[in-house]
Amino acid sequence: MPYNKLNISDVSNRITLEIPVFQDNVFDITTEQILAASRGDRNFGSCAFELADLLKLLPGQSRSHQLETRVSSLQDLFTDDETYYCRCPRDSTLRLITQHFVSIQEAPGRLYIQTDIGLFTIIRTDRRLLLRVNQNERATDVKAPRNQDYDSLKKCAAGLWRLREGDRID
């Protein structure tokens, strides 16, 4: 079954395809669900389908009923030599990453975030942040505590912590 439903219009020669759309609710998934029945070394050529596979949203997977897609022109996709990228809610994606965090490395214009569910690459362009997912590059030991409070972590990273009565600052 083709995932992207590639279509070439007879009239305009315009190429369109269906790509996954990620809403906040699709990121509510447990580690056990993500790691269950992993397909391993599949290569989709698209981070959108790689992320959908990771979240078990593709046809035949346990959460396929939650998959939403939209038709997009091939010209409207953000691409590089390796893949085309997905659009997804930043907070939900970072919440997922912090639950599985192992390490982070920075290179010019890129952040490489190693997790136990795959390697996430965040690429900064002049227009937006793009996300690349490679679930074949999983780390074995997780450093982030399970059920980490992402909202508190986000506030702390933004410098929005609060001192309580009796707290000491040395």
75-90 residue pLDDT tens: 777 777 777 777 778 7
Q: Which of 117, 27, 123 is nearest to 83 (CA)?
A: 123
Q: Is residue 118 part of a domain?
A: yes
The residue length of the chain stands at 170
pLDDT tens per residue, range 151-165:
766 666 666 666 566
Q: Is residue 162 part of a domain?
A: no
Range of the domain at 47: 7-157
State the pLDDT at residue 160.
61
Q: Is residue 2 part of a domain?
A: no
Q: Is residue 166 part of a domain?
A: no
Q: Is residue 169 part of a domain?
A: no
CA distances from 92 to 16, 155, 170 (A): 27, 15, 35
State the pLDDT at residue 1.
42
Q: Is residue 165 part of a domain?
A: no
Q: Is residue 168 part of a domain?
A: no
Q: Is residue 106 part of a domain?
A: yes
State the pLDDT at residue 4.
67
Split the chain (170 residues) into runs of 10 and give each run's mean pLDDT. Answer: 65 79 86 70 74 88 88 76 74 84 86 88 75 81 63 64 60
Count the domains in the chain.
1
